[in-house]
């Protein structure tokens, strides 16, 4: 067991993740004791102890103090283990954020790389990747109108069957079959209300996700897409994604419906091209179905198709992943999103029991996926790491230069307002400047969450619309005040 004792809560998050990265299989106990003398005391297995005293950070305060303390602990752990982490002491979910901030502050790319390597011990390869992605994110986001533009998310919380690793709140369509029209009634009401709330604003991106939107029948899909066409002007639309997702929900008729609307991008997600794994995780479709649906979509004229893969599905080896990647290469999607299943797998196995060989295996899978993406002419355009997990697993989106999913970046960068409709959907209203909330936290993001429960969503839709209208009106007032300052 490793004990981390901190004088202030300021360091706890960073130190936990740094220690976990070096000792993934060891239990960590963390305590905050305002009365203790050193700022940080680290007691390792075997009795060795490391302290950071106030004298080690004489003039630093706040974030700078946290950075120095984290750095000292990182240096110590690196020295005693003889190891370095590829993302160095960056523990956040978005390691590219720092590169982006520096870029926005006018720092040149070579300087940013040096800064990440020198100040945060990021490896040369990851520093280059962070800068490469930040440059692409910046270019893609520059197409959005932050002031008068907005994005729309529509959630369909149904799936053909529930995958064993699913962390979304999705329900099997068969159970809800008789109530889908009622769900659509509520959803359409909310979309229409969003149309009124956003009158005069520019719709930049649309994302229909879930769940699996293509669990709707062709007629239900038509109803939804037609309403969106009627409600919002497409004049400023940059991207319109429908997550077709599970091949066992897609038919030619549904793809034809989607084609009749201004949808620019769809996802056909195999997650793996290993039949044994699909069976094991409860995805009731075949590998052949993935290929057939993908080719059908191409024949119908879809020229921007994303495929999602997961590294680390149960009982999969690096060899399985290599085979999957070979099959994906033949299909040649326009973008490829590679997730790591580390969190869910670790959660089930118990993080501490997660064996090092699994880390090595997943790392290999992720590296092989990166190479395949490169061979397909796809470049990385967004990246986020997984929270609460040791190791350096990342979820990376690769795309042909003009086929990247802007919405994917938007949900992480939180620079433009996203109106969200559907059970469990969260509307994020973005203010130009930060405000101080009642709890003392500073933010420029105001969230309005819909209830997750589908029955409750349907029965309380009016209440949720009124709440959203109230928030929007308050935020609009704040925006005006901030802009006029
Ligand atoms: S397809 Fe996606 S949302 Fe649906 S059950 Fe599987 S993981 Fe969950």
Which ligand 1 atom lies nearest to the CA of residue 283? 6
State in words which class domain 1-83 has: alpha beta
Is residue 60's pLDDT more than 90?
no
Neighbours of 199 (CB within 10 A): 8
Helices 96-104, 124-141: axis angle to 10 degrees equals 60
Is residue 390's pLDDT more than 50?
no
Q: How far is the CA of 466 from the centre of ligand 1 (A)?
A: 30
Predicted model pTM: 0.88
Contacts (Cβ under 8 Å, ≥6 apart) of 97 = none
Confidence band for 164, pLDDT divided at 50, 70 and 90: confident
In terms of Cβ atoms closer than 10 Å to its own Cβ (0-12, 13-18, 19+), residue 167 is exposed
Reduced to 3 states (helix: H, G, I; strand: E, B; else coil), residue 322 is: helix
Residue with CA at minimum distance from ligand 1 atom 3 = 211
Which ligand 1 atom lies nearest to the CA of residue 210? 3
Cα(52)–Cα(40) distance, integer angstroms: 5
- HEC readout, 39-91: CEEEECCCCCEEEECHHHCCCCCHHHHHHHHHHHHHHHHHHHHCCCCCCCCCC
Share of the chain above pLDDT 90, in %: 66
Query: Which residue matches tokens 């939107």?
Result: 213
Query: pLDDT value at position 463?
Result: 96
Is residue 308's pLDDT more than 90?
yes
170 lines ligand 1 (CB under 6 A): yes
Neighbours of 470 (CB within 10 A): 11
Pairing of strands 40-43, 2-6: antiparallel
Compute CA 31 distance to the chain's CA centroid, rounded to the nearest angstrom: 30
211 lines ligand 1 (CB under 6 A): yes
245 lines ligand 1 (CB under 6 A): yes
What average pLDDT does the segment 358-370 reach? 87
Confidence band for 349, pLDDT divided at 50, 70 and 90: very low
Which H or E run includes 118?
helix 109-120
212 lines ligand 1 (CB under 6 A): yes
Share of the chain above pLDDT 70, in %: 95
Q: Characterize 48-76 residue by residue with b for buried, 16 or more Cβ atoms within 10 angstroms of its Cβ, and e for exposed.
A: eebbbeeeebeeeeeeebbbbbbbbbbeb
Q: How far is the CA of 406 from the centre of ligand 1 (A)?
A: 22
Query: pLDDT value at position 314?
Result: 86
Query: pLDDT value at position 167?
Result: 76
Q: How far is the CA of 219 from the centre of ligand 1 (A)?
A: 22
246 lines ligand 1 (CB under 6 A): yes
- By 3-state DSSP, what share of the chain in percent is helix, strand and coil, each rounded to 5? 50, 20, 30
Which ligand 1 atom lies nearest to the CA of residue 246? 1
Residue 470 to residues 12, 212, 298, 465, 475: CA-CA distances in angstroms?
Answer: 37, 30, 44, 9, 9
Query: Which residue matches tokens 């930040």?
Result: 134
Query: pLDDT value at position 467?
Result: 95
Question: What is the C-alpha end-to-end distance of the chain, expressed in Å?
Answer: 53
Query: Where does residue 50 fall: left (phi above 0), alpha (psi -120 to 50 degrees), or beta otherwise?
Result: beta
Q: How far is the CA of 158 from the centre of ligand 1 (A)?
A: 8
Q: Domain 265-303+305-402 belongs to what topology?
A: Transcription Regulator spoIIAA (3.30.750)
Query: Which residue matches tokens 């390792």?
Result: 44
Query: pLDDT value at position 391?
Result: 53
Is residue 246's pLDDT more than 80?
yes
Cα(197)–Cα(469) distance, integer angstroms: 7
Judged by average pLDDT, the poorest of 227-231, 413-417, 420-424 is 413-417
Confidence band for 180, pLDDT divided at 50, 70 and 90: very high
Query: pLDDT value at position 249?
Result: 95
Which residue among 214, 246, 307, 341 is best mutated to probe the pocket of ligand 1, counting the most ligand atoms within 8 A of its Cβ?
Answer: 246
Query: pLDDT value at position 387?
Result: 61
Query: pLDDT value at position 356?
Result: 53
Average pLDDT over the chain, rounded to whole? Answer: 90
Query: pLDDT value at position 97?
Result: 84
Confidence band for 322, pLDDT divided at 50, 70 and 90: very high
């Amino acid at each position: 067991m490793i004990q981390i004792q901190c004088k202030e809560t300021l360091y706890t998050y960073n130190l936990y993740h740094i220690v976990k990265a070096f000792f993934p299989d060891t239990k960590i106990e963390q305590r905050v004791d305002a009365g203790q003398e050193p700022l940080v005391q680290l007691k390792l297995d075997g009795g060795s102890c490391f302290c950071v005293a106030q004298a080690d950070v004489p003039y630093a305060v706040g974030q700078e103090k946290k950075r120095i303390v984290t750095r000292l602990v990182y240096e110590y752990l690196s020295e005693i283990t003889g190891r370095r982490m590829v993302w160095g002491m960056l523990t956040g979910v978005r390691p590219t954020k720092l590169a982006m901030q520096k870029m926005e502050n006018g720092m040149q790319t070579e300087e940013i790389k040096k800064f990440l390597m020198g100040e945060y011990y990021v490896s040369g390869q990851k520093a280059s990747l962070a800068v490469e992605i930040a440059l692409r994110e910046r270019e893609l986001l520059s197409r959005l109108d932050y002031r008068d533009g907005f994005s729309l998310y529509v959630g369909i919380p149904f799936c053909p069957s529930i995958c064993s690793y699913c962390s979304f709140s999705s329900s099997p369509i068969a159970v809800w079959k008789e109530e889908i029209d009622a769900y659509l009634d509520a959803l359409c009401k909310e979309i229409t209300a969003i149309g009124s709330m956003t009158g005069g604003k520019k719709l930049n991106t649309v994302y229909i996700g879930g769940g699996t939107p293509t669990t709707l029948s062709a007629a239900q899909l038509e109803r939804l897409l037609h309403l969106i066409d009627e409600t919002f002007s497409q004049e400023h639309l940059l991207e319109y994604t429908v997550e077709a997702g599970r091949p066992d929900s897609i038919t030619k008729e549904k793809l034809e419906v989607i084609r009749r609307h201004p949808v620019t991008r769809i996802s056909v997600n195999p997650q793996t091209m290993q039949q044994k794994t699909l069976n094991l995780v409860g995805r009731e479709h075949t590998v052949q179905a993935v290929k057939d649906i993908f080719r059908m979509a191409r024949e119908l004229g879809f020229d921007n198709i994303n495929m999602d893969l997961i590294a680390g599905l149960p009982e999969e080896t690096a060899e399985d992943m290599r085979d999957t990647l070979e099959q994906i290469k033949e299909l040649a999607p326009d973008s490829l999103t590679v997730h790591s299943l580390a969190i869910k797998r670790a959660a089930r196995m118990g993080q501490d029991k997660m064996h090092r060989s699994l880390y090595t295996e997943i790392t290999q899978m992720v590296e092989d996926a990166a190479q395949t993406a490169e061979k397909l002419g796809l470049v990385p355009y967004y990246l986020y790491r997984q929270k609460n997990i040791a190791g350096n697993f990342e979820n990376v989106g690769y795309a042909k230069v003009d086929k990247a999913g802007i919405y994917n970046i938007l949900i992480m960068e939180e620079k433009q307002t996203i109106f969200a409709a559907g059970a469990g959907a969260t509307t994020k209203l973005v203010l130009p400047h930060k405000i101080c909330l009642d709890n003392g936290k500073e933010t420029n993001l105001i969230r309005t969450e819909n209830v997750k429960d589908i029955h409750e969503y349907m029965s309380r839709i009016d209440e949720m619309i009124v709440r959203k209208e109230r928030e929007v009106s308050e935020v609009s007032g704040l925006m005006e005040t901030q802009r006029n300052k």
